[in-house]
């Protein structure tokens, strides 16, 4: 990095050519003058850091470093204090300042060491600036999936965590897919065992913990079913329940049936008279037949699932009533749900993490609403069908 030579002169700011006595002050200067977000005034650590911040947080592109000299406004160059200054600029600066400079070796060495120390210390600085774009396990973390999950991690069976850890290594890439089967097995929560005062976690507890964790992962088993099944209590796919494309569903709408005069040259905005002309009936029959089949199949599955759920149905029915009201109402529930040692655990955990309390509670409510809205078809069926444990987990969200 050609760093050896440059501390001959005082630290200076590449962006505005100002000199400082101490690199620490220089860094403060850069953060305040050049790396401060003009929107929220957050001080970032580098130009690229600022640019990424603006892009991600404010969705604004920044093309210049604020308060910089015209030829030094490049936001792409990562400069931190004296780190990262293009070598030719260092030389040029030294030339300008020459006359002085060229200190003895001993002078040289000391600051060098110091500098290294600083860099080492501050090393993480620039990178922490842009956590958003660092490769997260599954690639960038888009807003939807984020850290709501993180606090839950402790509750994941340890091997699932291992899974996550592995992911940066990035191989099988389908952790989502590979997880669910494993998640039915029974790790306990060593991490939380001390936090959990009561009831040693049981198998059922674990299973009840994952659905929320990676709810969307759940349904693979339900996959063959012609329904787009909800993905566990914590999440909902915003798509019609039938597993056909929205275009097909939309095309069934009466207003998209052909009109009597097919060659009308003018665009006919919607409510077109619905007449089934012979020419189109074929298509319609086809579509209709197909859809009916899908729906019928769906119903069958649903019915089957309902059967399978049979006994437990009662349980499921009871819980919603008691749960949302009294989140910690363990004792009441116990008789209803044999598995329920879990519940206190969860409640406890929640309380321990105040941040989660609210969302958790709301989740319960929201989940209920969602379920109700989806009717019996979407939400519960698939779980019952594919994952007997699924029934156990549900109460938690209600």
Partner 1 sequence: MTVTRVAESRTEFKLKSLPENAISSVKFAPKSNQFLLVSSWDRSVRLYDVTSNTERHKYNHEMPVLDVCFRDAVHTYSGGLDQTLKMYDLNAGVETDLGEHKNAIRCVEFATEVNAILTGSWDGTVKMWDSRVPNCVGTYNQGNERVYTMSIVGEKFVVGTSGRKIFVWDVRNMGHVNQRRESSLKYQTRCIRVFPNKQGYVLSSIEGRVAVEYLDSNPEVQKKKYAFKCHRIKEAGLEKIYPVNAISFHSVYNTFATGGSDGYVNIWDGFNKKRLCQFHRYNTAVSSLSFSHDGSALAIACSQLDESQIEDPKPEDTIYIRYVTDQETKPK
Q: Is 227 in contact with 249 (CB distance < 8 Å)?
A: no
Q: How many residues bind partner 1 (CB under 8 A)?
A: 76
Q: Is 370 in the site for partner 1 (CB under 8 A)?
A: yes
Is residue 191 at the binding interface for partner 1, with CB under 8 A as the rule? Answer: no
Minimum CB separation of residue 349 from partner 1 in Å reads 15
Applying CB under 8 A, does 173 fall inside the site for partner 1?
yes
Residue with smaller CB distance to partner 1, 79 or 82: 79
Candidates 260, 298, 262, 290; CA nearest to 385 is 298
Task: Give the angle 36-136-60 at the CA atoms, nearest 5°.
Answer: 35
What is the spatial distance between Cα 109 and Cα 115, in angstroms, rounded to a whole number? 10
Of 178, 203, 216, 336, the one binding partner 1 (CB under 8 A) is: 216
Binding status of residue 324 toward partner 1 by CB under 8 A: no
Burial tier of 385 (Cβ tally within 10 Å: 0-12, 13-18, 19+): buried
Min dist CB 183 to partner 1, Å, is 15
Which residues ranging from 251 to 290 are in contact with partner 1 (CB under 8 A)? 251, 253, 256, 258-259, 262-270, 282-283, 286-287
Neighbours of 66 (CB within 10 A): 16
Compose the 40-79 pattern: x for residues touching partner 1 by CB under 8 A, - for all others.
--------x--x---xx--x-x-x----------------
CB of 87 or CB of 168, closer to partner 1: 168
| Contact indicator for 367, 397 with CB cutoff of 8 Å | yes
Residue 105 beta carbon to partner 1: minimum distance, rounded to whole angstroms? 39
Whichever of 4 and 252 has its CB closer to partner 1, that residue is 252
Structure tokens at 146: 């984020």
Determine, following the binding rule CB under 8 A, whether residue 144 of this chain makes contact with partner 1: yes
384 touches partner 1 (CB under 8 A): no
Give the C-alpha separation, 384 to 394, whole Å.
10
Q: Does 312 bind partner 1 (CB under 8 A)?
A: no
**Is residue 260 within 8 Å of 273, Cβ to Cβ?**
yes
Residue 273 or 314: the one with the smaller Cβ distance to partner 1 is 273
Token pair, residue 126, equals 């620039």
DSSP symbol at 134: S
């Amino acid at each position: 990095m050609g760093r050896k030579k440059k501390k001959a002169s005082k630290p200076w700011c590449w962006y505005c050519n100002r000199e400082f006595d101490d690199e620490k002050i220089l860094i403060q200067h850069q953060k305040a003058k050049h790396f401060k977000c003009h929107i929220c005034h957050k001080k970032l650590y580098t130009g690229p850091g600022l640019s990424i911040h603006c892009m991600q947080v404010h969705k604004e592109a920044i093309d210049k470093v604020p308060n910089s000299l015209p030829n030094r406004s490049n936001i792409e160059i990562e400069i931190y204090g004296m780190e990262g200054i293009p070598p030719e600029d260092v030389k040029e600066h030294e030339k300008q300042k020459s006359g002085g400079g060229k200190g003895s070796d001993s002078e040289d060495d000391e600051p060098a060491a110091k500098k290294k120390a600083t860099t080492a210390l501050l090393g993480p600085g620039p990178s922490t600036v842009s956590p958003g774009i660092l490769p997260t396990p599954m690639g960038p973390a888009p807003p939807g999936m984020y850290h709501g999950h993180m606090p839950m991690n402790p509750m994941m069976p340890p091997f699932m965590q291992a899974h996550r850890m592995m992911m940066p290594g990035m191989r099988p890439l389908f952790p989502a897919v590979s997880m669910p089967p494993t998640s039915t097995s029974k790790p306990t929560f060593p991490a939380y065992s001390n936090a959990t005062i009561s009831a040693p976690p049981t198998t059922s507890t674990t299973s009840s913990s994952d659905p929320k964790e990676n709810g969307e992962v759940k349904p693979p088993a339900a996959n063959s079913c012609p329904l787009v099944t909800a993905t566990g209590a914590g999440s909902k796919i915003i798509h019609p329940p039938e597993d056909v494309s929205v275009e097909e569903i939309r095309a069934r709408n009466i207003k998209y049936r052909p009109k009597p005069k097919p060659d009308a040259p003018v665009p006919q905005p919607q409510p077109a008279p619905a007449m089934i002309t012979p020419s189109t009936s074929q298509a319609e029959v086809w579509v209709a037949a197909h859809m009916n089949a899908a729906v019928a199949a769906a119903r069958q599955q649903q019915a089957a699932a309902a059967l399978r759920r049979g006994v437990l149905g009662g349980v499921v029915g009871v819980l919603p009533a008691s749960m949302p009201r009294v989140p910690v109402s363990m004792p009441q529930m116990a008789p209803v749900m044999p598995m329920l040692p879990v519940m206190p655990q969860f409640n406890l955990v929640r309380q321990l993490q105040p941040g989660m309390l609210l969302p958790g509670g709301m989740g319960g409510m929201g989940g209920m609403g969602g379920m109700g809205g989806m009717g019996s078809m979407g939400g519960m069926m698939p779980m019952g069908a594919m994952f007997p444990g699924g029934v156990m987990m549900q109460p938690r969200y209600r």
